[in-house]
Structure 1
Amino acid sequence: MINNWVILSVYVVTFLIGLPANLLAISTFIKKLSDKPNPNDILLFNLTASDLVFLLFLPFKMYEAAAGMKWYLPQALCSIASFFFFTTIYTSSLLLMAIAVDRYLGLAFPIKYRLLRKPLYATAGSILIWLVSIAHCSIVFIIVHMPLPNGTKTEPVCYEQFTEKQKKILLPVRLEFFVVIYMLPLLVSIFCYIKCIYILYTRPHIAKVKKQRAIGMALCTLTIFLLCFLPYNTSHLVGFSSNESPWWRYYTLLPSTLNTCLDPFVFYFSSSTFRESKTIALLKSWCCRHKKTKKCETELNIISK
């Protein structure tokens, strides 16, 4: 019932697009962090690092798809690959929430927040987010290495077939994933960006470009949560209600991989450091040369301001 070649194709395309985009981003943020870091850049650096960890372990999922969704490598590699694969998904959702909160506080309480807005707090928050994701996803090691009943025959698959004893632990934990580290970050992000847009549009002295950028940031974040993360997290809800992992769960992971291709748009809208990098400037020049219009150059210069 699973078309492994469709899955493999999406993984390959994601890897080819996401890896160079995130390498560009992390090199830009490393340079900024070594110079004059701010909390936003620290959060974005961690988001980029999460994407890169995801992409580094994506070849294991490519191997699995190429092998017809079978796993012929050591079981320990299955545990490690699955752990990092899922950890980075939830780290990304929590970091997107933290970025939304940072932007909201900066707009709603500019004076107070400027006094409290220190890189140390962003670093501590990022570490806490990583620890929360790691603690949640450590369930992978617990489930995979639980002893099986005598005489149980298992197929060579990675983290897909579970005994009743395993499901009694795993399915409620997945439901908690859906509520705590998906729905909560989504609702907090929606609240923060609605408030940000409202504040910006009630202050006439704020430039139109900044208002448009806030809308772009909100739309990118909402797209990632709904397009990339919702299908996979919905499988947790369905699995808990049916007491069985749905067969289509493989496909729900595909939009989650596309998150690594969409995050660079978040970087562009939220970080002047990324917008003003030399590589982005070269891409803008390349686009203008191909369009060959002064209007293009004018528009790009406005967006960069």
Structure 2
Amino acid sequence: MADNSWAERVSNETVTNASSELALEADFQYSLFTAVYSVVFVLGLIENVLALYFLCCRAKHVSHSCVYMMNLALVDTLFVFVLPFKIHYHLNRNNWIFGDMACRITGTLYYINIYLSIAFFTCICIDRYTAVLHPFTYIRIKLIHYLVVVAVLWVVALSVIVSLILGGPLHNRGVRNTTACFENFGKHSWTYRMAPYNILALVFGFVIPFSIILIFYPLIAKRISQIKHSVRKRKALSTIYIILVICTLCFLPYHLTHLLHFLMRIQVIQNEVFTNLVYKMRRVTLALVSLNCCLNPLLYYFTSSSKRWHLNFKLRFRSKSVYTICDQKFGELSWGYKLHQRCGNKKPGDGIN
């Protein structure tokens, strides 16, 4: 009875809210989301499956910090499998047909990807900071410490997923008699049910991690810049730049507009023109935030100095070589013999010294 009354209250609330949503329509969103999510699905699936393959199967001398990379690739792969449902949803003008449970699961996985990605970025940042500025402390860190951090993050994420899935319906009446999924909540839902999740996500999921990244990475870059020119220096700086670009392009615009959107939903912001602008901006930033799934593999590439990130598709023409047993280094080619062979100066007895 309690669940039925709650569902009826939400249904009545969203019906009255649907009339206000009419003023918040953004017709460009349907083609925008369909196009962006389709590209992200294709590229993200290929890139992250390959990343998992190379990190788990082809990697040699894997560092402990690669645990974060593997889990980041895993999160992105899970996110990719959500996108076909989102593509169908937006292609049909925000009409959800897959049922309430599918809405809860896909919706929570969509947002969990955002905050777990930021969390693993922060872990990578702290790991690099410790390695560069506190090397003696870093060498005492063991694999078990990384596994504990990863386990804690996944437990927190799964607890949020379970609480959202079991907390009640997340699909409701949209505009034009459509069924909205994970949006178009009324004021009551935003104020009482969704507010704690949004506040915790903004503070602990973005403000604190992003502050750590903004403080630590300049310190790391300053220390690395003092090192003489080397390949490793370029790779380290490239890693920093890639993470900063991903955070600035994907996560920062989304969270700024999401904060405004949250204030709009609880009616702290009531200006009609500004409200409509915020709604449209949030559509764009939701598309941008999904691009992190395609950009993260660049991070795997630049942080892997000893891994083979290329497939051996090239045809190699091997020259015939003779190796001697008395060269200074085993396996070193006897260049003297090869030179004699090319010049036609081979004599009986030559070849093995």
1:202 aligns with 2:216: no
RMSD: 2.6
Q: Which residue of 1 aligns with 2:349?
A: none
1:229 aligns with 2:254: no
Which whole-Å CA distance do the structure 2 matches of 1:273 and 1:27 have between them? 15
Alignment of 1:1-305 (within 5 A): 1-3=26-28, 4-31=30-57, 37-116=62-141, 118-138=142-162, 140-141=164-165, 144-145=168-169, 155-168=178-191, 169-204=193-228, 207-242=229-264, 243=266, 247-248=279-280, 249-274=282-307, 276-279=308-311
Aligned length: 274
Per-residue CA deviations over 1:94-136 (Å, capped at 9, x if unaligned) read 00110111111011111221122x2211111111122233334
The CA deviation at 1:32 is 5.5
Does the 8 Å contact 1:144/1:159 carry over to 2?
no
Does the 8 Å contact 1:18/1:261 carry over to 2?
yes
Q: Name the SS of the counterpart of 1:73 in structure 2.
A: coil
Which whole-Å CA distance do the structure 2 matches of 1:32 and 1:126 have between them? 22
Which whole-Å CA distance do the structure 2 matches of 1:19 and 1:75 have between them? 26
Relative to the length of structure 2, the TM-score reads 0.71
The CA deviation at 1:144 is 4.5
Q: Which moved more, 1:72-81 or 1:239-248?
A: 239-248
% identity of equivalent residues: 24
The CA deviation at 1:163 is 2.6
Compared CA separation, residues 203 and 37, structure 1 to 2 (3 A): closer
Per-residue CA deviations over 1:67-97 (Å, capped at 9, x if unaligned) read 1111122111011100111111111110011
Compared CA separation, residues 109 and 8, structure 1 to 2 (3 A): same
Q: Which moved more, 1:218-227 or 1:139-148?
A: 139-148
The CA deviation at 1:37 is 4.2
Per-residue CA deviations over 1:185-241 (Å, capped at 9, x if unaligned) read 11112222211111112234xx43222222211111111112111222223311232
Uncovered stretches (5+) of structure 1, i.e. residues with no partner: 286-305
Which whole-Å CA distance do the structure 1 matches of 2:211 and 2:88 have between them? 36
Per-residue CA deviations over 1:22-53 (Å, capped at 9, x if unaligned) read 111100111257x6543221110000000000
Uncovered stretches (5+) of structure 2, i.e. residues with no partner: 1-25, 268-274, 317-353
Per-residue CA deviations over 1:114-165 (Å, capped at 9, x if unaligned) read 122x2211111111122233334555436642899xxxx9841101121332
Q: Name the SS of the counterpart of 2:181 in structure 1.
A: coil
Q: Which moved more, 1:18-27 or 1:230-239?
A: 230-239
Rg larger for: 2
Which whole-Å CA distance do the structure 1 matches of 2:123 and 2:43 have between them? 25
Relative to the length of structure 1, the TM-score reads 0.81
Partner letter of residue 183 of structure 2? E
Which whole-Å CA distance do the structure 2 matches of 1:64 and 1:146 have between them? 14
Which whole-Å CA distance do the structure 2 matches of 1:147 and 1:261 have between them? 28
Which whole-Å CA distance do the structure 2 matches of 1:147 and 1:56 have between them? 20
Which whole-Å CA distance do the structure 2 matches of 1:7 and 1:112 have between them? 46
Compared CA separation, residues 111 and 258, structure 1 to 2 (3 A): same
Q: Which structure's residues are more often helix, by fraction?
A: 1
